[in-house]
Amino acid sequence: FTEMLLLVLLVCTIGTTTAQLEWNYNEILNKSILFYEIQRSGRLPANNRIPWRGDSALNDGQDVGHDLSGGWYDAGDHVKFGLPMALATTTLLYGLIEFEQAYRDAGQYDIMLDSVKWSLDYMLKCHTIPGQQFFGQVGDGHVDHSNWGRPEDMTMERPSFQVNTTCGGSEVAGETAAAMAAGSIAFRAVDSAYADTLLTNSRQLYTFANTYRRTYHECIPNVLEFYRSWSGYMDELLWSAAWLYRATNDAQYLTAARSHYQSGHNTEYSWDNKWVGGYLLMWQLTGEEQYSRDFQGFMNRWLPGGGITYTPGGLAWHQRWGVLRYNAHTCFLGLVAAKLGLNEGAYRIWAAGQIDYILGDNPRGSSYVCGFGNNPPVRPHHSSTSCPPRPATCGWDDFHSPDPNPHTLWGALVGGPDENDAFQDLRNDYVKNEVTTEYNSGFQSAIAGLKYFENRPLP
Give 7-24 as a DSSP string.
HHHHHHHHS-SS------
Catalytic residue check, 60: no
* Strand positions, DSSP E, 185-229: none
* Non-local CB neighbours of 381 within 8 Å, separated by 6+ positions: 75, 76, 427, 428, 429, 430, 433, 434, 435
> What does the alpha-carbon distance between residue 319 and residue 30 come to, in Å, rounded to a whole number?
28
337: closest CA among 291, 301, 275? 291
Cα torsion through 125, 93, 73, 329, rounded to 10: -140
> What does the alpha-carbon distance between residue 37 and residue 412 come to, in Å, rounded to a whole number?
11
Q: 152, 191, 418, 425: which is the annotated catalytic residue?
A: 425
Catalytic residue check, 152: no
Q: 74, 272, 434, 438: which is the annotated catalytic residue?
A: 434
Whether 433 contacts 416, CB under 8 Å? no
* Non-local CB neighbours of 351 within 8 Å, separated by 6+ positions: 330, 331, 332, 334, 335, 338, 446, 449, 450
DSSP state, 267?
A: S
In sign, the C-alpha dihedral spanning 298, 342, 305, 1 is negative
> What does the alpha-carbon distance between residue 64 and residue 449 come to, in Å, rounded to a whole number?
41
Give 103-160 as a DSSP string.
HHHTT-HHHHHHHHHHHHHHHHHH--BTTTEEEEEES-HHHHHT--S-GGG--S---E
Cα torsion through 299, 302, 303, 307, rounded to 10: 120
> What does the alpha-carbon distance between residue 92 and residue 95 come to, in Å, rounded to a whole number?
5
Query: Of all helices (H) and strands (E), which one includes residue 281?
Result: helix 275-286
Question: Which residues participate in catalysis according to the annotation?
Answer: 425, 434
